[in-house]
Chain A
Amino acid sequence: MPLTPDEVRRVAMLARIELSEPEIATAQAQLNSIFSLIETLQATDTKGVTPMSHAGDLVARLREDRVTEIDQRDRFQSVAPQVERGLYLVPRVIE
């Protein structure tokens, strides 16, 4: 089922990726060609098959609840696009 330009716009919004009109057209064509490959999955009967989300059946490990990290704020913020007084700066969201 081919994607419409509106569906491409919606997905791009969900993914927070700005697309220009020509990019939407290109994405639509490429996604549809990829989805025609993906559609081949539908022909297989998988009734009763448990989905496999991970290789090996992992058991979540627990650890002791104690502080393991040291404060490295300055170090980590040195690679941030914009910081001020130890805070990450973003455009104003609340007027």
Chain B
Amino acid sequence: MHNANISELRAALASRKISSVELTRMFLDRIGAANGSLNAFITVDAGKSLSQAKAADARIARGEAGRLTGIPIAHKDIFCARDWLTTCGSRMLANFVSPYDAHVIGRFNDAGCVILGKTNMDEFAMGSSNETSYFGSVRNPWDLECVPGGSSGGSAAAVAARLAPAATGTDTGGSIRQPAALTGITGIKPTYGRVSRYGMIAFASSLDQGGIMTRSAEDAALLLAEMVGHDARDSTCVDMPAEDYTLRLREPWTKGGSGARPLEGLRIGLPREHFGEGLSGDVHAAVRAALVEMEKLGATLVDIDLKNSALSVPAYYVIAPAEASSNLSRFDGVRYGYRAPEYTDLSDMYCKTRAQGFGAEVKRRILIGAYVLSHGYYDAYYLQAQRIRRLVARDFETAFESCDLIAGPTSPTVAFKLGAKAADPVQMYLNDIYTIPANLAGLPGMSIPCGFGQGGLPVGLHLVGNYYKEGDMLSAAHHFQTATDWHLKAPVQ
């Protein structure tokens, strides 16, 4: 049952083969057995989960079930959930019990989903390996010596190890897609503004976007449909009705497409810059093989240029820290969160609270941000980075004139060993070289499993769509997953 997809779970719940309480208990047992070695969850609260499951069962019995009623899912600990500890992976919020629900949590609760627990993450979502969490590193279920990627590493590990059918994530520079790639699961970051950020603890507000991590595009379509749509509480949330991505999932790309060639008419752009130096051979080979499969399914491959791609990383490491330094100024030891036990005056209280409450990577990024925004450097760094951001977005605009989707590797390598890059921030930052451009432009992106590389570790295929074309990406991914079985491979427990 833990390998069943969400449609199968729905059917089992509807036919009373299993109750939500039984299903929830099964996943809680799996978490209990595996979390000691994976450290994927920060908080598990069986009492709360089971009472939600009981309510879901009652709703099913009354015949009032929606299509997600009774389905347990895990949430990244960046989403505020009422009466749940919500830490954001930080000592700063280690005792923060949220007084309210994030929009995404509220949507899933209203749909009748069960919260299975809160997943581990890089502190304030700053990291690509889940090693910056105050609550310890998460381990990759494919190899416990390796990282699961980050920052949504706990959600990725939980879904990959079948501890949860799905988990929410957030993506500022690749934090859904990179861990999805490194753990062999499906992860989608929708267009910026498509999912409300209300109650999602802010890192870099012009880039942050919530999304979903699942075992298949089909499950992602079902869950993402529940998350999108307008919410007035997030001023950057797009005023556009929700879209049910499941409706056209199985449709061929164009009317002319047949059963064997459902992607006939689809033009896939391959950015030259994403297949060059820095891409490891094993990942390259798996991605190429996936592209051959896409061709077999009817797609046409075209070369494209994203010539400012390489500048995305430095531009990102100006923009994201600048926004973070501003967003994280709210953690001052006054209204919520950690406060240093000893201090001399107000300023000393701020300085000690923040020195003790934040970890090394968060402090580093706040310092970068404060520096690039400070007098005399604003034009040279911040404005220049924003101009580069425009160039990156224009590259995509041009590329989408000759293709419908863009594909490439999600990450330059398979999962690396714990500690391998922890001492060198710049090496760590370069992990996100293929994912960051989509965040800068605000485009939707996803990663789907497409094979295995060195050490038998999963490789992810990265897809980027045009604005609001989540449905296109999910449909192409679903056709790929109908023809292949990479997404069905699970790590040995």
Contacts and interface: CB of A to CB of B under 8 A. Distances in A.
Contact of B314 (A31, A40, A88): A40
Most buried by B among A7, A13, A40, A82: A40
A52 B339 contact: no
B339 A82 contact: yes
Nearest to A39: B314
Given A11-B367, A17-B366, A55-B442, A38 B97 contact: no
Contacts of B380: 42
Contacts of A60: 235
A80 interface: yes
B389 interface: yes
A91 B349 contact: yes
B99 A56 contact: no
A67 interface: no
Given A41-B388, A81-B339, A34 B426 contact: yes
A16 B354 contact: yes
A51 B193 contact: no
Given A51-B383, A55-B206, A17 B388 contact: no
Given A37-B314, A41-B311, A46-B388, A18 B352 contact: yes
Interface string A52-95: 11111010110100000000100110111110000010111100
B429 interface: yes
Interface in B330-355: 332-339, 343-352, 354-355
A45 B371 CA distance: 23
Contacts of B390: 49-52
A55 B193 contact: yes
B387 A51 contact: yes
Nearest to B380: A42
Contact of B351 (A17, A37, A54): A17
Interface in B181-210: 192-193, 206-207
B354 A88 contact: no
Interface secondary structure of A, over-half rule: loop
Contacts of A7: 371
A35 B387 CA distance: 18
Contact of A27 (B96, B334, B367, B372): B367
Nearest to A89: B334
B337 A81 contact: yes
Contacts of B332: 16
B315 interface: yes
B236 A54 contact: yes
A41 B384 contact: yes
B348 to A, nearest CB: 8
B346 A91 contact: yes
Given A51-B386, A55-B206, A79 B96 contact: yes
B90 to A, nearest CB: 14
Contact of A61 (B206, B235, B338): B235
B268 interface: no
A25 interface: no
B317 interface: yes
Given A15-B325, A38-B381, A3 B371 contact: yes
A63 to B, nearest CB: 7
Contacts of B336: 76, 79-81
Contact of B426 (A37, A42, A72, A82): A37
A34 B126 CA distance: 15
Contact of A75 (B99, B206, B388): B99
Nearest to A15: B370
B238 interface: yes
A55 B429 CA distance: 21
B121 interface: no
Contacts of A30: 364, 425
A16 B315 contact: no
B333 A12 contact: no
B364 A27 contact: yes
B31 interface: no
B351 A16 contact: yes
Contact of B192 (A35, A51, A55): A55
Given A15-B366, A40-B311, A91 B334 contact: no
A64 B192 CA distance: 25
A17 B355 contact: yes
B55 to A, nearest CB: 22
Nearest to A50: B390
Question: Would you list the 7 A-B pairs with minimal beta carbon distance, nearest first?
Answer: A55-B442, A51-B386, A81-B339, A46-B387, A18-B351, A18-B355, A55-B192
21 contacts: A12-B367, A15-B370, A18-B352, A18-B354, A30-B364, A34-B426, A38-B385, A41-B314, A41-B385, A49-B390, A50-B390, A52-B387, A52-B440, A53-B206, A56-B193, A58-B236, A79-B337, A81-B337, A91-B349, A93-B345, A93-B346
Given A15-B369, A46-B391, A53-B386, 11 more contacts: A8-B367, A14-B374, A15-B366, A41-B381, A44-B308, A51-B390, A54-B236, A80-B335, A90-B346, A93-B345, A93-B346
Interface of B: 95-97, 99, 192-193, 206-207, 232, 235-236, 238-239, 308, 311, 313-315, 317-318, 325, 329, 332-339, 343-352, 354-355, 358, 363-364, 366-372, 374, 380-381, 383-391, 393, 424-426, 429, 440-443, 467
